[in-house]
Amino acid sequence: MTEIVSKQLQAIEQQEKVIGPWREAWLSFKKSKSALVGSAIVLFFVLIAILGPFFAPQGINDQNLSLRLQPPSAEFWFGTDELGRDIFSRIIHGARISLTVGLAAVLISAGAGSFLGIIAGYYGRWIDTIISRIFDIMLAFPSILLAIAVVSILGPSLQNALIAIAIINIPSFGRLIRSRVLSIKEEEYIHAARAIGMKNSRILWKHILPNSMTPVIVQGTLAIATAIIEAAALGFLGLGAEPPQPEWGKMLADARMFLLNAPWAMIFPGLSIMLTVIGFNLMGDGLRDALDPKMKS
């Protein structure tokens, strides 16, 4: 009997050894119901962005003034706007715009911020001082005001709004990676790599960068939600997408004059923004709990 129990214990120990850190993180992620709900919401909007435009019932720019401000019905599920355009079809196409802006802006800011943060944290001295002071100056301004200033300089357009959102998010990634690098570069395996004559570029690429990616993944997921809100805010102010692009923030701005007569024209774009942001936030919280060792019990 004792031999059977010991064999079972050995099998359990071997199974636990086989489980790697990424598999362990995935198992932890699956235990969070809120993270799974957030992932389902994100997946839903991603599928809408990819496949939705092919199944949209109406054209996004098909105008019919005789059908303007129609309430939701069997023909127009989300009603029509002030020009008689189908709101449901425009929201479907708007999902592709909002998600593209959010993802692209975060990829750019994460790449640039990670590069600057690694350089500042690893080399230190005057390089760290210059980069850190630039980050401090950028963080001294409210993000939306800095984005408005950048778009005002470059000119109102969706592309320039994307660039502005990417720029204002660089310091958050840079400071995050810098703090991570400051702790990693003091590890024994980094000192050992220097001792055997490994070049700094190889140390950065092979050791520092891979071990710094966990917080970037978590921060990137949460930053997508922020980028979508910032893109909607710029669109609402007329500094983002230009007509007739069906961007959610621009749709809110166009419908604000008809809030009392046709509230559905603002409700559905607003709900789309809210649900997308909630989905990314819930998924980001789940990733943080799964990837951060300090959050594990």
Instruction: Write down the pLDDT at residue 296.
Output: 52
Q: Name the DSSP letter for residue 69.
A: T
Q: Of 17-31, 120-134, 192-206, which range is least confident?
A: 17-31
Span 204-251, pLDDT tens digits: 787 787 777 878 888 888 889 899 999 999 988 888 888 788 888 888
Q: How confident is the model at residue 3 (pLDDT cuts 50, 70, 90)?
A: low
Q: What CA–CA distance (Å, rounded) separates 212 from 220? A: 13
| Distant-in-sequence, close-in-space partners of 297: CB < 8 Å, separation ≥ 6 | none
Percent of the chain surpassing pLDDT 90:
20
Helix, strand, coil percentages, rounded to 5, for the chain: 80, 0, 20
Q: How confident is the model at residue 16 (pLDDT cuts 50, 70, 90)?
A: very low
Q: Is the pLDDT of residue 78 over 50?
A: yes
Domains and CATH numbers, the chain: 92-297 (1.10.3720.10)
Can you say whether the dihedral through the CA atoms of 238, 239, 240, 242 is positive or negative? positive
Instruction: Write down the pLDDT at residue 20.
Output: 58
Q: Once rounded to an integer, what is the mean pLDDT over residues 121-148?
A: 88
Instruction: Write down the pLDDT at residue 155.
Output: 87
Span 241-292, pLDDT tens digits: 887 888 888 888 888 888 888 888 899 999 999 999 999 988 888 777 776 6
Answer whether 113's CB lies under 8 Å from 103's CB.
Answer: no
